[in-house]
Chains A and B, each alone.
Chain A
């Protein structure tokens, strides 16, 4: 990777790490939330739905500031978590948290749609054949929603790769710690002669995003062919 400078390479590696963690860590909660919104009726469902979608509508700076107030070094959750050794403020983990929160609505939407498309009658059939609810979920629901889960994860990953506003507000722009690709591009554009480095990172951004989309398309088509018959 000679064509990327050390500083640029650092931003790329950090972005990949932050996005992968953000996606992987929010996947179980995203799936659970999507399932609850798709299948269960409970009091306050509309409020939960609203909270999940809030980061999509709020200015990212607001989301970042709210994260700082809550999970920052002085925030209530931040102080509590620091006691057990989990620190988000001005660390790459904070960048991952910000990316996860911003990507969460996209992930949940894709998964919820695919769960709603699964016929509950198939799940009932599984139950009559002796499968308990967790087994029905693992052997019937999950395989059928796999394309949607995959699409949600890839969408979330791509969103995490591009997250800027909430990240820079929450954890600042510290080289090697919180300077992801978008923050690095922004930083390079602030200094004279930084356009070259910025352009190279733009190219990396486009390539990663395209690669992720193609991969998810290919995987989804494979799964769809398996489910569709023949």
Chain B
């Protein structure tokens, strides 16, 4: 089932004019605050009437302004997970979880309550009220509540933005499981590159209300021309597989034949792992470096050089491991004569990859 979205709506001083398709899996709407992400999600959920556009889910038309179709939110069956959880304070966790199932149509495919409770680890919370839960617990219950409403698609509007780093790390794996175990499309709004890198099947990058790129996480994040958060936040994604865990605390990854060493990961050997390498953590060298402490040296070819407004430049290079981005100074670009086709070595310190940037 695919979610098709085409919208035009004036908001916050500019016009949102966006169109994209969200196939099964996680489609991440990626962009900075005010780029129109939440407006899109609200229009899909039915909490906002767009000025013009058409939204359809697997052939079921939710909105078509030309034909005057507008389905109210309660008849859309889109399980929505909000940034602030929005659990009902007067109901227990169990009642919150059952709320959506109450209104689901009789024939709808239902998730099993026990399975969802187990997957989210919220069994001990069932008889409590939301007032007595931590932020992370609230978000897990909110995920469960959306799942159990027998949704035709799931919408998540920055579900981790209000949480601290530790709670984010606690919840992200649940979204990874959701992506792998739930058949319906998931539209996920985020302004965090690490969430995009870990979750996205498809990325839709937004800037000032316009779609500037769509594709896989590796394609969109590896494109130096697409920087919805600016060059500081740029970083490419490598698709890897765990090759071995070593006794000295390192994990060896197989990235397209090249070996990549990271601090010990929790996943089993053989598991697929995505690694986001921040562009500012990559050093470039024209010759193979010797006597270097960094463990990861990937030979490659420069594909594109993009000079920014300031002293920096983003260099995209193709390596055996995949596309990488390096953020260097324009002075270095000149000194190393970096240009498309030039052979370089990309150097990545093992310890520079943040644990939050690695996911299944």
Contacts and interface: CB of A to CB of B under 8 A. Distances in A.
A binds B: yes
Interface of A: 119, 121-122, 124-133, 135-136, 139-140, 143-144, 226-230
A143 B91 CA distance: 9
A227 B102 CA distance: 21
Given A129-B79, A130-B104, A122 B74 contact: no
Contact of A229 (B45, B89, B145): B89
A226 B146 CA distance: 23
B80 interface: yes
Contacts of A227: 89-90, 129, 131
Contacts of A229: 89, 128-133
B74 A230 contact: no
B193 interface: no
Contact of A128 (B73, B88, B104, B129): B73
B73 A127 contact: yes
Q: Which of A124, A130, A227 has the most CB of B within 10 A?
A: A130
A125 B90 contact: no
Interface residues of B, number: 33
Given A121-B82, A130-B103, A227-B89, 10 more contacts: A121-B86, A124-B86, A127-B74, A128-B79, A128-B80, A129-B146, A131-B74, A135-B103, A140-B88, A144-B90
Nearest to A121: B86
Contacts of A126: 88, 99
A50 B224 CA distance: 61
A226 B100 contact: no
B80 A122 contact: no
Contacts of B146: 129
A125 B128 CA distance: 20
A220 B289 CA distance: 73
Interface string B121-159: 000000011111100000000000110010000010000
7 contacts: A125-B80, A128-B155, A130-B149, A131-B74, A139-B88, A229-B128, A230-B132
A122 B84 CA distance: 10
Contacts of A132: 72, 74, 103
